[in-house]
Amino acid sequence: MSITKSVFDELDLHYPDDNIYFQIISAVLESAERLDLPHRLKLMMAQPKNEIIVHFPVRMDDDSFALFKGYRVQHNNVLGPYKGGIRYHQGITLDHVKALSALMTMKTALVRLPFGGGKGGVKLDPRSISPEELMRLTRRFISALGTNIGPDYDIPAPDVGTNAQIMAWMADTYVNISEPGKRLGGSGVVTGKPIEYGGSHGREKATGQGVVDVLEELLPGIGIDINRMTYSLIGFGNVGSWTARLLHDHGARLKAVMDHTGAIINEGGIAAPTLNTYVSETGGVAGFPEADPLSEEEFYATEVDVFIPAALEQMITESNARLLRCRVLAEAANAPVTPAGERYLLERGVTILPAILCSAGGVTVSYFEWKQNRQAEVWDPETVDEQLRKLMVAAARRVNETARQLKCDLRTAAYCAALEYINKVYNLRGIFP
Ligand code: GLU
């Protein structure tokens, strides 16, 4: 019996093989098995500590009431407060949030941040409601979570469908429902806030910057020059557009982009800053005048050095993977490749730079923001960039070194490097009482 099936049987958890939570935890447990880590650690990793579901009403603009479902899953806090984004998306499920919370535990441990892992979300399409409704929904969600979050306990941040404005409403709500004596530091309850209200320089571009820092560190070893590479991109939201704008400064050539509105190509290169202006006006890449439309299949089959998924989970299935013609796949999104897609790509010799490394820039600058809030400091943009680069390069080297020692792929290496650290801290702390 596989390690995952036996641990899940012990915990009386039953999932089909294509379930995202089952898939993520399987990869984590197989890495733990490889290192021969204690059974108790596998049990702790296989199940989040807390799974909170709230249902809350919101007054809509036409005076009707709508009921929404919100989640906060707190996977593990042995290294420090739970940390991770809150997503607004119509397709969100408890298993999705659980899977993403486990990835946050891995991500913060890999980078050696003093945080555990958590994730949250509300099931809705944020584009379908007005800004006023969005504000009331956000405030009501945060008041429903109440003391389940806090600057020393669980610290949310932006994710798909949420942004700095939403973080400002979250922090303001938390501060208003806190006891008067605790209000001063209350806004440290979330990160990714606007700069004017306790946010950090560099937080908005941080995930994209982290992707670029990792590529700069690891591509030379694979024989690719970041300044001359070609690449394609799925997703042109915060992470995709920042990654592309920063790579544009390096001179890398963006050949094709796909998002929820369609796919576009320009063999000579798409200017990411111009595309960014276009997408902020139109809401998507389709119809961009300086590129040609192409089908989804043609998009996947475009030959590039590096393929960067920066959108939702599980988009690179085995059948999409079979179309890819790239040497490196850099996961800027969380869990974009299914296990079957991954097996196929690894067999073909494609190097996969794993999400817990590539997409760790956001939570790393979140850590800097939380630290600045606690110390009532403001770091300049150069300091943030420098510190981020330092931690991303160290994490990339850690993954490379572990892969070399264990003779394994980079995802397994990243999980092993994270788990080994978590195990050390469990051994030091022990289990209360
Ligand atoms: N949502 C981002 C992630 O998945 C950022 C989390 C954070 O800043 O806490 O890594």
Of all atoms in ligand 1, which is nearest to the CA of residue 156? 9
When pLDDT is averaged across residues 149-164 and rounded to a whole number, the result is 97
328 and 307 in contact (C-beta within 8 Å)? yes
166 sits in which H/E element: helix 164-177
- Does the pLDDT at position 1 exceed 80? no
Spacing, Cα 189 to ligand 1 middle (Å)? 14
pLDDT at position 161: 96
347 CA to centre of ligand 1 in angstroms:
31
The 10s digit of each residue's pLDDT in 405-415 is 999 999 999 99
Distance CA 352, CA 33 (A): 21
- Mean pLDDT of the chain, nearest integer: 97
Q: With 80 as the cut, is the pLDDT of residue 175 above it? A: yes
* pLDDT > 90: percent of the chain: 97
Mean pLDDT of 156-179: 96
Which atom number of ligand 1 is nearest to the Cα of residue 100? Answer: 4
Residue 227: band (very low, low, confident or very high) from pLDDT cuts 50, 70, 90: very high
Q: Which atom of ligand 1 is nearest to the CA of 84?
A: 9
Q: How are the residues of the chain apportioned to helix, strand and coil, as percentages rounded to the nearest 5? A: 50, 15, 30
Q: Residue 33 C-alpha to ligand 1 middle, in angstroms?
A: 27
Report the separation in Å between the CA atom of 263 and the middle of ligand 1, taken as the mean of its atom positions: 26
The Å distance, Cα 421 to ligand 1 centre, comes to 20
Atom of ligand 1 nearest to the CA of 115: 9
Per-residue exposure over 317-342, b if at least 16 CB sit within 10 Å of its own CB, e if not: eeebbeebebbbbbbbbbbbbbbbbb
Model confidence at 182: pLDDT above 80: no
In the chain, the percentage of residues whose pLDDT exceeds 70 is 100
Does residue 180 surpass a pLDDT of 90?
Answer: no
Which tokens hold the place of 342? 């991954």
- pLDDT confidence band for 349 (50 / 70 / 90): very high
pLDDT score for 179: 84
pLDDT band at 83 (very low <50, low <70, confident <90, very high): very high
Which is higher by pLDDT, 431 or 343?
343
Ligand 1: list residues with CB < 6 Å.
Answer: 83-85, 157, 159, 191-192, 334, 359, 362-363, 366
Token look-up 């020692």 returns 405
Q: If pLDDT is split at 50, 70 and 90, which confidence band does 239 have?
A: very high
Ligand 1 pocket test: which of 155, 160, 366, 370 has the largest number of ligand atoms within 8 Å of its C-beta? 366
What tens digit of pLDDT does each residue of 4-39 get?
A: 999 999 999 999 999 999 999 999 999 999 999 999
- pLDDT for 185 equals 78
To test the pocket of ligand 1, the residue of 113, 119, 363, 384 to mutate (highest count of ligand atoms within 8 Å of its CB) is 363
Ligand 1: residue whose CA is nearest its atom 9: 84
Catalytic site positions: 119
Query: Where residue 102 falls among pLDDT bands split at 50, 70, 90?
Result: very high
Atom of ligand 1 nearest to the CA of 360: 10
CB 45 within 8 A of CB 29: yes
Which residue of 98, 115, 159 sits with most ligand 1 atoms within 8 Å of its CB, as the best mutation to test the pocket? Answer: 159
Residue found under tokens 């600058």: 365
The domains of the chain, with CATH numbers, are 1-47 (no CATH), 48-185 (3.40.50.10860), 206-358 (3.40.50.720)
Cα-to-centroid distance, 157 and ligand 1 (Å):
6
pTM higher than the cut 0.75: yes
Two tokens, residue 306: 């590096």
